Structure formats: C-alpha cells, structure tokens
Amino acid sequence: MTDLQDHTARAKHWFESLRDDICAAFEAIEREAGSDAAFQYTPWDREEEGNPDPGGGVQGLMKGKVFEKVGVNVSTVKGNFSPEFAGQVNGASADNPGFTATGISLVAHMANPHVPAVHMNTRFLTTGKAWFGGGADLNPPIPYEEDTGDFHAAFRAACAGHNPTYYERFKKWADDYFFIPHRGVHRGVGGIFYDHLECADDAAFERNLAFTQDVGRAFLDIYPRLVRRRMESEFTPEDKLTQLEWRGRYAEFNLVYDRGTLFGLKTGGNIDAILMSLPPEAVWS
C-alpha cells in the first residue's frame, strides 16, 4: 500500500470512528428526552463512467424529539474532476484531474429554537497535492453569548495545542466564509474554518491529522453540552417563527455559496446526502 493509500485509509477510519461517537452521543440525548429516535444508515455507491472503483459512502439520518433533523455522513470517493471543475480545486488541473476525497459532514437542525443548529465538516483530499480542511460553526436562531463563548473557547483550545496562530486565522476564515452577501448577514455566530493544510510528507500528514482529530473531539465535547443546556427551554410561537425564518437564510447560503454542496454535485455524489444540510421546515417572509 502506498503512503497516499495509507493516509486516505487512516483518515477514513478516523472519520468513521468520529461519526460513531457523535451519533451515540446524540442518541443518548434523545434517550434523556424520552425518545427512542435512532440514526438510520443508508449506504450509497458513486458511479463514474470508466471508473471501476469510484467509492461511495453512508448517509446517517435521525429525526427525533430534540434533533428535529440531523445528518451525519461519511464518504470516500475517487475519480476524475470534469475539465471545467478541475481548475478550481487545489492541485488539480485539466491535465491532472484525478482525486480522492474522504470526509465527515454533519448538520443538525433542532426542534427547540433556543438550541443552536450546528455544522461540522472535516475532510482529506488528494489531487496533485494532499491536504486536510474543515471546521465547525454554530448557527443559533436565538443567540446566547454564553453558548457562543463556550463554543469558541472549545475550538480556541483545540487550535492552541497545535499552532498559536490557528484560532485567529481560522476564526476569521469562518467569519468571512459563512457570510450571505445578498443579505449582508453572517449565517451564524462563527467558529473555525480551514483548508489546504497540505501534507507534503509523512510528518505533515501526522501533524495535520492530529489537528483535524482535535477539531472533531472539540466538537464532540462542546456541542452536546450546549444542547443539554437549552433543550428544555420554553419557547413561544414567535420564537419558532424566528427559527423558521433563520432556516430560510441557512438554506440560501447552502444552495448558493457552500463549497461542499458544489463539490458534491460536481463529483457525482449522493443527492440526498449532499442536501441533507437543508432544514426540514423553513419560511421566507
């Protein structure tokens, strides 16, 4: 097995392990709320003409009492970018369109508008280069400074263990990226976002894998705590309308600007898995 194959396999194993831990944590919250909701897992196979092993993934979806809709997907795919898309991807070109990608993607839309929605995604890609990317961001319809502060503190600590510049750099990247230009508003209260942490050798791979693992662990630690803090809060019809209007903004960002949505659609991904980020219900006033 080449180093590249080994690196992809190790990243894939981590993403699957993180998925299992997150799903178990979310199901435990449902049990605390008196719900027997559980994740339903749907495998899917990617298709690409002339490619005997294009890969695929598993879509995990749960609809419960606390988690109105949460998707946790893991996919590992490989093949060739279309010529027009290859030039938009780090290390790829029309002359060198091959790629592999493995990653985890999570979006949770909550029943109670006082519980923040959340997005988390980490991934490992190889083209002519190899790199990690990802992050997590909090998306409360009704923000609380305490929740925002604790969420950022968790990722500040994860970053600090690797590079003293990471948190400020990646926080700004999230603030710039998760912005809806046509509305002039941010999608949520931010978090961190990073990309192109390149793995030119084994040492760089180990370093960037370790950071990506700590990002996943930070999410697994902080987000269930925020859910438990707010999930029994009383809410009004006005609170629910605020949530539904906010979800409309969230849908606009994901359909118009989100890189992950575009990447999935351009590489023959599973449509249901790609669009699992969309809320179960939304309104536009």
Q: Total domain count for the chain?
A: 1
Instruction: Evaluate whether residue 285 is within a structural domain.
Output: no
Q: To the nearest whole percent, how much of the chain has pLDDT over 90?
A: 81
Instruction: Evaluate whether residue 282 is within a structural domain.
Output: no
Domain that holds residue 244: 3-277
CA distance 30 to 175: 31
Q: Which helix (H) or strand (E) holds 155?
A: helix 145-160
What pLDDT is stored for residue 92 in this prediction? 67
CATH number of the domain bearing residue 34: 3.40.1500.10
Rounded to an integer, the average pLDDT of 80-97 is: 74
User: Residue 93 pLDDT more than 90?
Assistant: no
What pLDDT is stored for residue 73 in this prediction? 97
Using one digit for the tens of pLDDT, what is the confidence trace for 127-146? 989 999 999 999 999 999 99
Eight-class DSSP state of 116:
P
Instruction: Evaluate whether residue 189 is within a structural domain.
Output: yes
Report the C-alpha dihedral over residues 242, 283, 152, 231, rounded to 10 degrees: 60
Residue in 7, 109, 114, 119 annotated catalytic: 119
Using one digit for the tens of pLDDT, what is the confidence trace for 192-209? 999 999 999 999 999 999
**Model confidence band, residue 86 (pLDDT cutoffs 50, 70, 90):** low
Instruction: Evaluate whether residue 167 is within a structural domain.
Output: yes
Instruction: Evaluate whether residue 284 is within a structural domain.
Output: no
pTM of the predicted structure, to 2 decimals = 0.94
Which amino acid, one-letter code, is at 164? P
User: Residue 161 pLDDT more than 70?
Assistant: yes
Q: Which of 35-44, 70-79, 137-146, 269-278 has the lowest mean pLDDT?
A: 269-278
Instruction: Evaluate whether residue 210 is within a structural domain.
Output: yes
> Measured between alpha carbons, how far is residue 162 from residues 156, 173, 182, 222 in Å?
10, 17, 36, 19
User: Residue 7 pLDDT more than 70?
Assistant: yes
What pLDDT is stored for residue 2 in this prediction? 52
Is residue 119 flagged as an active site residue? yes
> Is the distance from CB of 158 to CB of 216 less than 8 angstroms?
no
User: Residue 96 pLDDT more than 80?
Assistant: no
Q: Which helix (H) or strand (E) holds 106?
A: strand 98-110
Instruction: Evaluate whether residue 74 is within a structural domain.
Output: yes
What pLDDT is stored for residue 1 in this prediction? 41
Rounded to an integer, the average pLDDT of 9-36 is: 98
Instruction: Evaluate whether residue 264 is within a structural domain.
Output: yes
CA distance 218 to 103: 17
